């Protein structure tokens, strides 16, 4: 009898759990559940807040980002499963562009579109072609389509490393069938960022930052007999995996912040308040070097390129005046003119004679013969032939 009642209770519990699982699956497919949340704008994180609080510069620098890709070549690791998913995000360029725009609340950089440059040029070509077809404009007015901006500095780099299980650990305890445990796994992502001068191609400065990607798992449970024929078994747990995208984004934001400080230290750009800027640079060096700060680190070498953040912009030339020349056809002859006979053509003008040159002999007279008459017949000084004198 006791065995039958215990089996009946187990059947009721199992059917209840199965019904609940099916109910949750049905709600997840058709309607929203209590676990669903509304989309929100990405909140400001601590690294992003530090990037926004950088002291303002004396002027904005025009920069360009072409690409910022995944240079690790790693794929996501899964147990006993082969996957083609990448280990880190492939959207590094949009993250870098956003970080550059967030620096100093948008006061540090003017970012130019270069990741999808083909789309930009194609759209400008469409505008030029439409005005040529419908307005007969071979040269588009600069007020309608001004020249593109030039970047004085190119921001390059990429995600250069992603190491898994760099730190693992855990702790747990159990007493009389009741206990809990905690596990910890840490990965590390590494990004690199450099500033390249458009004028000379010199790499002005380079920075490298790392960010830990943490995963926590907390579990608890109970397993004990309440009575001789009644068993209590319960489990609970929660797991938090830091999104790798957020980790990469935080590492890029810290890299942009470091790039600004390193560039200000070697004179690529300057702070609007020099005293505040020096304090900011000193605090950065303390965090970076800690006890390893040397005199050489406090006096870095300036780059070869002078005024690297300055570049001459292209100014549209004023439109040149159009010269119009009218070509009129010849007049037709009247009937009266045709009866008087053909029109006599005007005599052609005699060709102009060139002035005599002093280095040449004079021109021959009319009727004068040049050279000897016959080189085979000898003549005298008077001009008579020798045969005539003998006669």
pLDDT band at 338 (very low <50, low <70, confident <90, very high): very low
Asked whether the predicted pLDDT for residue 255 surpasses 90, the reply is yes
- Residue 181 pLDDT more than 90? no
Average pLDDT over residues 201-226: 87
Enumerate residues 6+ apart whose C-beta is below 8 A from 24: 33
| 357 has a pLDDT exceeding 70 | no
Give the chain's mean pLDDT: 79
Write the pLDDT tens digit of every residue in 34-85: 777 888 888 888 999 999 999 999 999 999 999 998 888 777 766 666 566 7
345 against 301, higher pLDDT: 301
Average pLDDT over residues 98-114: 93
Q: Please give the Cα distance from 214 to 332 (Å, whole number).
A: 97
Please give the pLDDT value at position 12: 53
What integer is the mean pLDDT of 263-286?
Answer: 92
User: What residue segments make up the domains of the chain, in order of their start?
Assistant: 1-40, 41-114+151-298
Task: Count Cβ atoms below 10 Å from residue 8 Cβ, excluding itself.
Answer: 10
Structure confidence at residue 87 as a pLDDT band (50, 70, 90): confident
Measured CA to CA, the distance from residue 60 to residue 105 in angstroms comes to 12
Question: What was the pLDDT predicted at 376?
Answer: 47
- Provide the pLDDT confidence category of residue 153 given band limits of 50, 70 and 90: very high
Number of other residues whose CB lies within 10 A of the CB of residue 16: 10
Please work out, in degrees rounded to the nearest 5, the angle formed at the alpha carbon of residue 313 by the alpha carbons of 138 and 139: 5
Task: Supply angle C-alpha 341, 346, 351, rounded to 5.
Answer: 155
Q: Is the pLDDT of residue 275 over 90?
A: yes
Q: What are phi and psi of 312, to 5 degrees?
A: -80, 125
Q: Please tell me the pTM assigned to this model.
A: 0.69
Helix 92-102 and helix 244-265, axial crossing angle in degrees, nearest 10 = 50
Residue range 41-114+151-298 forms a domain whose CATH class is alpha beta
Share of the chain above pLDDT 90, in %: 32
- Tell me: the pLDDT tens digits for 25-40? 555 455 667 777 888 8
pLDDT exceeds 60 at position 120 = yes
For the segment 312-326, the average pLDDT, to the nearest whole number, is 72
Closest to 262 in 3D by CA, of 206, 220, 328, 187: 206
Q: How much is the pLDDT for 233? A: 79
Selection from 135, 213, 115 nearest residue 168 by Cα: 213
């Amino acid at each position: 009898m006791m065995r039958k009642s215990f089996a009946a209770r187990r059947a009721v519990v199992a059917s209840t759990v199965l019904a609940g699982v099916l109910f949750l699956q049905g709600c997840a497919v058709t309607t929203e559940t209590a676990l669903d949340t509304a989309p929100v704008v990405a909140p400001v994180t601590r690294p992003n807040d530090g990037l926004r609080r950088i002291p303002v510069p004396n002027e904005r620098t025009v920069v360009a980002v072409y690409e910022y890709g995944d240079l690790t070549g790693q794929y996501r690791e899964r147990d006993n499963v082969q996957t083609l998913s990448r280990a880190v995000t492939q959207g590094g360029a949009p993250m870098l562009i956003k970080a550059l725009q967030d620096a100093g609340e948008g006061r540090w950089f003017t970012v130019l579109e270069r990741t999808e440059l083909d789309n930009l040029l194609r759209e400008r070509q469409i505008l030029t072609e439409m005005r040529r077809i419908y307005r007969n404009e071979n040269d588009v007015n600069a007020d309608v389509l001004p020249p593109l901006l030039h970047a004085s500095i190119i921001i390059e780099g990429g995600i250069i490393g992603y190491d898994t299980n760099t730190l693992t650990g855990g702790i747990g305890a159990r007493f009389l069938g009741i206990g809990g445990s905690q596990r910890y796994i840490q990965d590390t992502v590494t990004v690199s960022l450099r500033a390249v001068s458009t004028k000379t191609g010199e790499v002005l400065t380079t920075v490298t930052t790392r960010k830990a990607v943490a995963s926590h798992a907390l579990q608890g449970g109970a397993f004990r007999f309440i009575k001789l024929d009644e068993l209590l078994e319960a489990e609970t747990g929660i797991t938090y995996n830091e999104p790798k995208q957020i980790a990469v984004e935080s590492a890029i934001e810290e890299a942009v912040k470091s790039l600004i400080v390193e560039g200000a230290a070697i004179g690529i750009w300057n702070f609007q308040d020099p005293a505040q800027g020096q304090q900011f640079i000193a605090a950065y060096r303390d965090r970076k070097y800690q006890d390893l700060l040397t005199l050489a680190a406090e006096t870095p070498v300036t780059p070869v390129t002078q005024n690297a953040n300055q570049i001459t912009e292209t100014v549209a030339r004023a439109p040149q005046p159009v010269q119009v020349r009218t070509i009129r056809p010849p007049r037709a002859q009247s009937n009266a003119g045709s009866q008087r006979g053909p029109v006599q053509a005007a005599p052609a003008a005699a060709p102009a004679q060139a002035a005599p040159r002093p280095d040449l002999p004079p021109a021959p007279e009319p009727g004068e013969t040049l050279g000897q008459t016959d080189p085979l017949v000898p003549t005298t000084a008077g001009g008579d032939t020798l045969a005539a004198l003998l006669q």
